[in-house]
Every structure is written in C-alpha cells, then in structure tokens.
Amino acid sequence: MAPLRNWWVLKSFGQHSLNRNYLILEACLIGVVSGFSALILKQGIGGLGGYRVALSHRYGAWLVLPLFGLLCGGLAGWILQTFAPEAKGGGVPQVKVVLARFPLPLTWKEAIAKTIGTILILGGGLTLGRRGPTVHIGAALAAQLSQWLPTTPDHRRQMIAAGAAAGLAAGFNTPIAGVLFVVEELMRDMSGLTLETAIVASFTGSVVSRWFGTSDLNLPSALLNAGNQSHFSVSEIPFYLILGALAGALGGLFNRGILTVLDFNRRLRLNLSIRMAIAGMISGGVVAMLPDFFRDNAGLRDFLLTGDAGWEMIAIAFVAHFGLSLLAYGSGAPGGLFAPTLVLGAALGYLVGFCAEAVVPEASQYTYALAGMGAFFTGVARVPVTAIVMVFELTTDFNLVLPLMLASVAALIVGERVFKGSIYEHLLEASGIHLKEQKNPQILIGLTAAQVMQVDVETIESDLTLDELLPILSDSPHRGFPVLERGKLVGILTQGDLSQVESHHGTVTVSQVMQTKTITVEPQASLSDVLYLLNRYQISRLPVVEYDKLKGIITRTDIIRAEARALLGSSSRSLYLQSPSYCVYETHGADKHQKKLWVAIANPNTAETLVTFAVAIAKDQNAAIHCVHVIQVAASEPLSESTITTYPERNLMQRLEKLGQEWEVSVHTRVVLAHDIAAVILQQVSSADAGLMLGWQGDRLHAGQLFGNVVDFLIKEAPCDVMLVKTSHAHPLKICQQASASGLRAVCPISGGPNVQRALDILPALFHLTPDVAHHSLSPQVCLCQVYTPKAQTQKFPLLLSAQTRIKQFVDVPVVPLPIRSHFVVDSLIRLIKEETYDIILLGASRDSLLQQALHGNIPEAIAKGTNRTVIIVRGALDADQD
C-alpha cells in the first residue's frame, strides 16, 4: 500500500505542492476540520456539564460537584499523562513553540487527547475556557494534515497558524479576531500567504461552526434587546481609563498568580492526574457554596452581562472566579484563559459601571462590562487589537469601539508596568523555553532556485534511440538528464531507468523509458521549497522550468554550495571571483601606466562627473582609468543567450574616452553582462595596488545597509583603495589646467587610522579641480579640523600639526589646522562647511571606527545629507588597514 499511496500523492499533489492555490485549498480543508472539532468540543462540554448540573439538583451540590470534579479531573489527567503529555495546559503556548520551530509533538494524538481532556475538565466544572484548546486542536489537526498532504516546511508553519486561527474563529464565531490573534501573538508574520491562509481557514471554520452549530454570537439574547444599548460620552473617558488601569493591574496580578500556582505544583511533585483531581474537587466544593448560576460557566458569564445581580454579588463572583481560575490553570488542566478573562473583565466592568452611573447618569453598565472584557483580556494576553476586534465581533456594535480602545490601551500600558510581557511568554519561560525575535534572515528562504541553479544543462532529445544515447552517457559525468521535445521538458532519464531495460535495441527510444511524471520548480521558488521536494520524493536533481521551458537544474550539491556561500557571506571572496561574466564591449587606451584606477559606472547621468574626479586623481598619480559598466542579467537567463542593446552604453563609454584624451589621461572602457554586479567589479580590482571609485547618492537604500548592497559589499571586500564619491549637482567642479590656478576650498576632518592618511594622500590631487562657477570671493584653502569634547585637556594638537606639515609640501594654498570643541561631531562639521563655503569634504573612513559608527549613527550619510557639497569617503587598501 505504501508504494501505491506514494505514487498517488506524487501524481495528484507533487506538482502542485508549491502552488499558492493548492495552499489556499489546503487552508480551506483545515478550516472545515477545525470547525467540526470545535463543534465536537462544544457539544461534549455542554452535554457533560448539563449532566453534572442535573445530578447536583437531584442528589445535592455538596456531594455531586466535588465528586464529579474529582473523577473528571483525575481521569483527564490520566489520559493526558498516558497518551499525550504535551496536550496539557491551555494550548496557545504549545502552538507558539511549534511555530518557533521547537521540536514539540503536534499530531492527531495531541488533538484527540486535548479534546477528551478538555471535555472532562470543563464538563467537570473547572472554571477554564474551551477557546484555548480549540486553538491547540486546530493547530494539531493542521499539522497532521500538512504531513499527510505534501507541504513544504515553511508552508507547514503557515498551515499550523491557519489551523490555530480557524480554531479560535470557530470557538468564538469571530473570524477576524482569529486572524489577528495569529498575527499579533502566535506568528507575528504579516506576509501575504500567511494572511491569506489564515483568513480562508478562519472564515471556513466560522462558517462550519455557525452552520452546524449555532448562528448566534455567543451572547445571550437578553443582551441584544433594546434595553441594553451601548453608550459613550466624553464625560465617561476618565472612567474608561480607570477601568483599563484596573484591568491592566489585575491582569498583571492574574499572570503572577498563575505562575505562582504552577511553581507551587512543581514543588509538590504530584502526579498530573492527582493535581487535576484535587483542583476539580476544590473547585466543585467552592462552587457548591455559591449561588446556582456559578455551576455553569456560560451561565455565569450571561448572568454578569445581563446585569441581574447587585454589585455585592458581582464582587463575590469576581473574587471566586479569579481564585478558581488560578487553581484550575495552575494544575495543568487542558483549558484556556480566554473565557475566564472575559468573565472577570465583565465583572470588573460592571463594578466600574456602577460607580460611573452615580456620576454620569447616562452611563451604561452594559458598555462598561463589554469594555472590561476586552481590557482584562488585554491585561493578561497583551494583544489589544485582538481583544478590541473580538468583543466587537461578539456584539457587532460599533459604538463599543471607542470604549474598547480606551480601556484596552490603558490596560496594556498599566499591565506592562505591573508585570511585563504576556502570560504566554511567561508560561514558556517557566518551562525553560525562551523565544527571541529572529534577527538573521533564514538563508534557504532568502535564496531562490534561479540564483542557485546550473544554467548550462546537458540535455537529450526524446526521439534518440538507446544506441545513440550510449556514447553520450559514456562521455558525460552526469547520471541523469532532462529530456526535451521541441524545446520543452517532457521527462527525466537516469541510469536507473536504463538498468530496467532488458536489452538495448536500436528501436527503443528515450521517450519509452524516461520518467514522464517529473517534479519541477519555477525560478522564483525558494531554496527551502527545493530542498523539501528533493527530500520528499527522494530525487537527486530538480529541473527549473518556466512556461514548460527548461531554465536550469538544481542538485543537492548546488544547495550545499549556495548555503555555504550565504553563510560565509562576503567574507569568502573566492566564491565571488568565480561568478561568470560576459564582455560585450571593450576599448583600450595607451597602456603606459603602472597603476589602475577603476571607475564603476552605474548612473549614466553622473558618469562624466565621476570620471572628472578620476581624471584629477589619475593625473596626480600617473594612473590609467578603467571604466567598467555592468549590465545585470536575470540569474535564470544564460549570459550567452541574453539579448541586450548596448548602444547607449557604447555612446557613454566613447564620451568618457574623449574626456580622458582631452586631459591626456588614458581611459579604458568595458561593458560586461553578469548576474552579480558586485562580483564582476571585485574580479576587476583583485590587485591591492589598484584603486576603485564608486558613485553614491548620499542615501542608504534599506535599513541595515550603509550605502547600498553593491557598495557595502565592495567597501568591505575590495582589496584596493576605495573612494566613495557623492557629487554635487548644485556646485559642480571641473578640471583646471594648473593646480596653482584652482580656486578649490577643501576640508578634511582628522582622526587616527590609516584611512585618514590615505585621504590626505589624494588631497593634493583634488587641486586639479576648481569650482565651475566662482560662487564665492573666498580664497582657496585646505582646512584640517579635529573635533574634541569640551572636557578634553589637550593643549597641543599633534595630529593636526603633523597633517598640516605634510600637506604644505604638495599644495600652494593656505593649510589651516582647526581644533573644534563640541559634543556633536556631525553638527559641528556641517556648520563649519556651510559657514566657510567649502567645495569638497574629504573623509577617511576607518573600517573599525567610522564605518562601524556609521552602521548606527552613519556619520558620512549625516554629513552628506547636511550639505549640498561634494563628499568623498576614502577606505584604504585592506592589506594596509590594520587599525
């Protein structure tokens, strides 16, 4: 049966397991299953609870309730301890753990044990809720379905989250709150597929629950009549803030109480069944002493919300329910905290409403009770958005939104002051599990098939005979080949397929023996999906196909190589030096110079300005300029097959050559096709005695980047000197015939480190430039400045004086040393630049100091943003950079 089942799964689902529509359909199925499981749980609890109440009326509450709690609690504990120990507790923490990729069992066994245990516990009279267990059961059933049906590991997480959302939606008939709870508490993922699957599963679970169960909103009909209308006025705002503050403080106290009872039970070292039996017996005995409506949890909530009791009875209900909930949850019973917190919130809301009504006659106790539900739930779980939407969905009363928002936000603020963090985080920490925010991106998710696949694939035609195929196989190192027919992939042929052919007759063709049911992926598929398919179907190679056209192939070796490259990052330069490139245009100037100054051309609009700076430096250092422009090609497209129009690039390169000829500087040009821009540039500047000039717009592209992906990589990895130039469009510079005729005013902040020395080395070369327009009457000057703190006791300035002496040897303009005392380095420099009208700001960027500071405060970026003048940042050759 196993081979037949595997064949059916492969044929039916293998091709579509990465398809988005397939995942939506799977989420719909999960919603249906979760909805029915919630109905079974509800009916079971209602039937057993009704039987318990009936027995208490017949034989006396003093006897029946404690005995029933004892037996049900003990039996539920034995079932959990024997068959599924992980099913104890509320269920939400367990789901969080699995979604965080901890190895915790989550299968149909946990779902069944949780269902039976919850029915026994809640039907036995413990004051917990069934919504937490429905979250756990829905997630467990989703996890089991995702194992039976082909689902990638990352999509499996999304299916589990969808199952949890469906469970909560079916339990409360609140589909939106189910989705928000997943996003806000369980998974904290706002990706499109996560939301789509959670919405579909929640909707389906809620529909099933209403269709086959009850279509009401879980509130008694008395609440929805005209006598209970919500009301809100501005004069009531202080009372809602008080309600929120009380809910936050008591919610924090509730969390502390649960952890204290759990710790106490751990110290007792009692068996789970004994703990739950004792909790059931004590709960039954306490409830037997209270009025009849305490015997039914749903009846207690309805009694509180309808306002049929006085404040004294409501206060008693609050205290009793508070203590019994701590006792029940602390025993490890399989029940949730949703219902207890809503009951406690309703009671607290009515108590505050009594007080508000005495001051504001039009105040509605009903509104305060519902606002209290959301506020107390927020105070315990710290999910204000879920709490607001949940109560709103329960009532469909828009007038409740403002009171809910006020009370919930106040509860969150005060609750965080009283006891920081949600109850679920503390429950996990008490179990020794610490969930932290993931800081590093997952490598396999970040890479795609197109980035890893081999594009030069050895293929065979389907009409080849086996006799024609044998010479090809003998000359090839591969053991499997994609089979094409009229350019389209039609199958895979491996040596194993050939071994099953009894005799190699000349009439037998490849199409007769190849595998026609081929698992493929699209170029944009993540590498984790690729690895899943390789493992799931035990195959060694996976064709990458787009519109039936073969784009490449991926093997396990390719994945290992790609993951190693991503793990090593840019620290392994040799990996990037192997990146392919294809030169489509190249010119050579006079090659009489020893040193090469490479200029990476990215923006045609600033290319001539950038080369102007390169010409100034090349004239001073007797170097040749090598301009390289890289045209990026999609990784899924072989470079040799790319169709690229290079006329604009050729025209640009010709203009750059003429610029060099005008000033008698040799200019070489190259236009290259490549998949990886940074890798190609790094290949060109592999020598430490070269130089590299890059353009920069003065802004970072993404958070966490310093100057942009390509530039950041080259700053870190290029072995030669790197000059990062941010040009000024408002105040352009041009080449002047004689350095002595330059009207340039330059400023260079001085600090320790060899990169500052490299910046000073190129400073004289900049006096081959002059402002395009005489925009000031000030004379040319070099300002060497150093910023000290006001408390520094320095009277002598050796760095400044040494730099001044050095620069005076090479320029014929005044060199001014300027010590500055300030706490604010960037502000002081920007003020100096503006007041003294400097044309160029030259920065020596130490890799261990300035660049590291830039990652946090980004001093070069701050200076560049604060001025519209030209900024040049210099990083010396890596071999010389030992600071």
Residue 574 has pLDDT above 90, yes or no: no
DSSP SS3 for 671:
strand
Q: Which of 19-23, 406-410, 518-522, 717-721 has the highest mean pLDDT?
A: 406-410
Q: How many other C-beta atoms lie within 10 A of the C-beta of residue 108?
A: 16
Cα 620–chain centre separation: 49
* 306 inside domain: yes
Residue 414 has pLDDT above 90, yes or no: yes
Q: How many other C-beta atoms lie within 10 A of the C-beta of residue 686?
A: 12
Question: What local confidence, expressed as pLDDT, does residue 688 receive?
Answer: 56
For residues 638 and 691, membership in a common domain is answered with yes
* 11 inside domain: no
* 706 inside domain: no
| Ranges assigned E (strand) in 564-622 | 581-587, 595-600
Question: What local confidence, expressed as pLDDT, does residue 230 receive?
Answer: 73
User: CATH number for the domain including 854?
Assistant: 3.40.50.620
Question: What local confidence, expressed as pLDDT, does residue 714 receive?
Answer: 80
Local confidence band at 16 (pLDDT 50, 70, 90 cut-offs)? low
Question: What local confidence, expressed as pLDDT, does residue 90 receive?
Answer: 86
pLDDT tens by residue, 465-504: 887 777 777 777 777 888 888 878 888 888 777 776 666 5
**Structure-block tokens of residue 782:** 């070099």
Output the 3-class SS for 789-832: CCCCCCCCCHHHHHHHHHHHCCCCCCEEEEEEECCCHHHHHHHH
H or E stretch including 58?
helix 20-59
Residue 224 has pLDDT above 60, yes or no: no
Amino acid identity, position 170: A
Question: What local confidence, expressed as pLDDT, does residue 645 receive?
Answer: 81
Question: What local confidence, expressed as pLDDT, does residue 736 receive?
Answer: 77
Strand pairing class (769-771; 733-735): antiparallel
- Nearest alpha-carbon partner for 492 in 451, 527, 457, 448: 457
Average pLDDT score over residue span 228-241: 84
Percent of the chain exceeding pLDDT 70 equals: 82
* 436 inside domain: no
* DSSP states along 301-313: HHHHHHT-S-HHH
- Nearest alpha-carbon partner for 34 in 162, 180, 155: 162
For residues 416 and 310, membership in a common domain is answered with yes
User: CATH number for the domain including 68?
Assistant: 1.10.3080.10
Which residues are within 8 A (CB) of 344 and not within 5 positions of it... i.e. 6 or more apart? Answer: 250, 254, 318, 321, 322, 325, 376
pLDDT tens by residue, 666-700: 999 999 888 788 888 887 776 656 788 888 765 54
The residue out of 430, 455, 478 marking a domain boundary is: 430
Least confident range of 415-424, 609-618, 704-713, 811-820: 704-713
Tell me which DSSP letter residue 779 carries.
P
For residues 455 and 410, membership in a common domain is answered with no
User: Which parts of 663-753 fold into alpha helices (H)?
Assistant: 677-684, 709-717
Cα 569–chain centre separation: 19
Nearest 5 degrees, angle CA 17-CA 23-CA 24? 150
User: Which parts of 217-337 fold into alpha helices (H)?
Assistant: 237-268, 272-289, 297-306, 311-330
Nearest 5 degrees, angle CA 274-CA 275-CA 279? 115
Least confident range of 105-109, 404-408, 521-525: 521-525
500 backbone φψ class: left, alpha, beta (φ>0; ψ -120 to 50): alpha
Question: What local confidence, expressed as pLDDT, does residue 446 receive?
Answer: 59
For residues 194 and 48, membership in a common domain is answered with yes
Least confident range of 57-66, 98-107, 288-297, 757-766: 288-297
Local confidence band at 786 (pLDDT 50, 70, 90 cut-offs)? confident
Which residues are within 8 A (CB) of 753 and not within 5 positions of it... i.e. 6 or more apart? Answer: 844, 846, 848, 849, 850, 883
For residues 32 and 97, membership in a common domain is answered with yes
Which residues are within 8 A (CB) of 613 and not within 5 positions of it... i.e. 6 or more apart? Answer: 693, 723, 725, 727, 733, 769, 872
Distance of alpha carbon 230 from alpha carbon 228, whole angstroms: 7
Distance of alpha carbon 746 from alpha carbon 768, whole angstroms: 12
* 2 inside domain: no
Q: Which of 74-78, 90-94, 302-306, 395-399 has the highest mean pLDDT?
A: 74-78
- Nearest alpha-carbon partner for 239 in 359, 341, 418: 359
Q: How many other C-beta atoms lie within 10 A of the C-beta of residue 861?
A: 20
Distance of alpha carbon 824 from alpha carbon 331, whole angstroms: 58
Distance of alpha carbon 218 from alpha carbon 346, whole angstroms: 14
Residue 91 has pLDDT above 80, yes or no: yes
The residue out of 397, 430, 463 marking a domain boundary is: 430
Average pLDDT score over residue span 640-652: 82
For residues 211 and 230, membership in a common domain is answered with no
* 572 inside domain: no
Question: What local confidence, expressed as pLDDT, does residue 223 receive?
Answer: 47
Of residues 703 and 690, more confidently modeled: 690
**Structure-block tokens of residue 705:** 């980047």
| Ranges assigned E (strand) in 696-808 | 721-726, 733-735, 745-749, 769-771, 781-788
- Nearest alpha-carbon partner for 378 in 273, 535, 255: 255
Only one residue has tokens 């799977």, namely 26
DSSP SS3 for 520:
coil
For residues 398 and 252, membership in a common domain is answered with yes
For residues 302 and 370, membership in a common domain is answered with yes
- Nearest alpha-carbon partner for 751 in 681, 802, 689: 802
Domain limits at 484? 443-562
DSSP SS3 for 346:
helix
- Nearest alpha-carbon partner for 451 in 538, 540, 544, 582: 544
Question: What local confidence, expressed as pLDDT, does residue 741 receive?
Answer: 65
For residues 447 and 426, membership in a common domain is answered with no
For residues 229 and 209, membership in a common domain is answered with no
Q: At what angle do helices 423-430 and 365-381 cross, to 10 degrees?
A: 30
Distance of alpha carbon 622 from alpha carbon 832, whole angstroms: 33
* 662 inside domain: yes
H or E stretch including 497?
helix 495-499
This prediction has a pTM of 0.57
For residues 393 and 500, membership in a common domain is answered with no
The residue out of 197, 218, 239 marking a domain boundary is: 218
Distance of alpha carbon 45 from alpha carbon 797, whole angstroms: 83
SS3 content of the chain, % helix, strand, coil (to 5): 60, 15, 30
The count of domains in the chain is: 5
How far the first Cα of the chain sits from its last, in Å, is: 68
Distance of alpha carbon 507 from alpha carbon 526, whole angstroms: 41
For residues 417 and 325, membership in a common domain is answered with yes
Q: At what angle do helices 92-99 and 131-148 cross, to 10 degrees?
A: 30
Tell me which DSSP letter residue 515 carries.
B
* 847 inside domain: yes
Question: What local confidence, expressed as pLDDT, does residue 189 receive?
Answer: 66
Question: What local confidence, expressed as pLDDT, does residue 523 receive?
Answer: 81
Residue 839 has pLDDT above 70, yes or no: yes
Of residues 781 and 848, more confidently modeled: 781
Q: What are phi and psi of 576, to 5 degrees?
A: -80, -25
Question: What local confidence, expressed as pLDDT, does residue 409 receive?
Answer: 95
Question: What local confidence, expressed as pLDDT, does residue 220 receive?
Answer: 46
Q: What are phi and psi of 597, to 5 degrees?
A: -115, 105
Asked whether the beta carbons of 877 and 691 are under 8 A apart, the reply is no
